[in-house]
Amino acid sequence: MSAHADSAATPPAAPATPVSLAAVVAAHGSVLVLDPCTIHVQAGLLRAAHPPLWHSGGDDSSVHLFAAAEVCLTAAGLKPSQVGAYVFCDGPGSQLGIRTAAMALRTWQVLRAAPAPVFAYRSLRVAALAHGRNHPGPFAVVADARRDSWHAVRVAADGSATNVLRAARAELADWPEPLLTPTGFRAWAQPPRPAGTCAYDCATMFAALGAELLLYPVAEPEPWLSAPITYQTWTGERHRAASA
């Protein structure tokens, strides 16, 4: 594989071995999950010895992310600041949605007597592993990363999956495995060759993957970036008429 795992794919504070959602629920009693990476934001409340509560909202994360979380919390009689731990998808996906989730988590932390643990996961890896449960590899789950490149997770025939990679469009076109895009992801460009789709439903994915080591603790909730942000330098100059 010539595509590389981005240096930002595993934050320095992450443990060598990630943890499972089931372990986080067992350790903290109740966990609020926020996934704003698609056009239908999703929230879930998982509690020890209780059935999971999930709700999907609309495409406006500034409204529907909170509405989805409220539905789950109200059913359990809890406030956001009363849950034992928070879990959120930090990317790839809708940057606006992910930033909204990060802002919400930071706000709820301030309202607590003591901060709660926060864990994050990568959307494409969860989607790829969930799809692989019923559809053997090889295949690659991809999402538009803009700037003529794609985020991707490649799944081998034995079911093993890479971390999130970033591949140039021309490189992705040469990969031999079928390409899949998760349902509900926003796209600004079409894949370089025909692609199928795979489901992206948190309730179904985590029911299948609750014991998978997919989560890592984060000190401060923030969006994951596959590459450092760069800014174009601009020097303003007034337009002048050409000399006669």
Domain boundaries, the chain: 13-122+200-217, 125-198
Q: What is the pTM of this model?
A: 0.86
Residue 42 has pLDDT above 70, yes or no: yes
pLDDT attached to residue 241: 59
Neighbours of 217 (CB within 10 A): 16
Mean pLDDT confidence for 188-209: 96
CA distance 202 to 244: 68
pLDDT attached to residue 181: 98
Residue 243 has pLDDT above 60, yes or no: no
Mean pLDDT confidence for 40-58: 95
Residue 141 has pLDDT above 80, yes or no: yes
User: 32-36, 126-130, 173-177, 184-188: which range is least confident on average?
Assistant: 184-188
Mean pLDDT confidence for 222-234: 65
Please state which architecture CATH assigns to domain 13-122+200-217.
2-Layer Sandwich (3.30)
Place 231 in a pLDDT band, splitting at 50, 70 and 90: very low
Q: What is the overall mean pLDDT for the chain?
A: 89
Is the model more confident about 227 or about 170? 170
pLDDT digits (tens, 9 = 90+) for 108-126: 999 999 999 999 999 999 9
Residue 87 has pLDDT above 70, yes or no: yes
Closest-CA residue to 128 (of 207, 205, 37): 205
Cβ contact 166:6 at 8 Å? yes
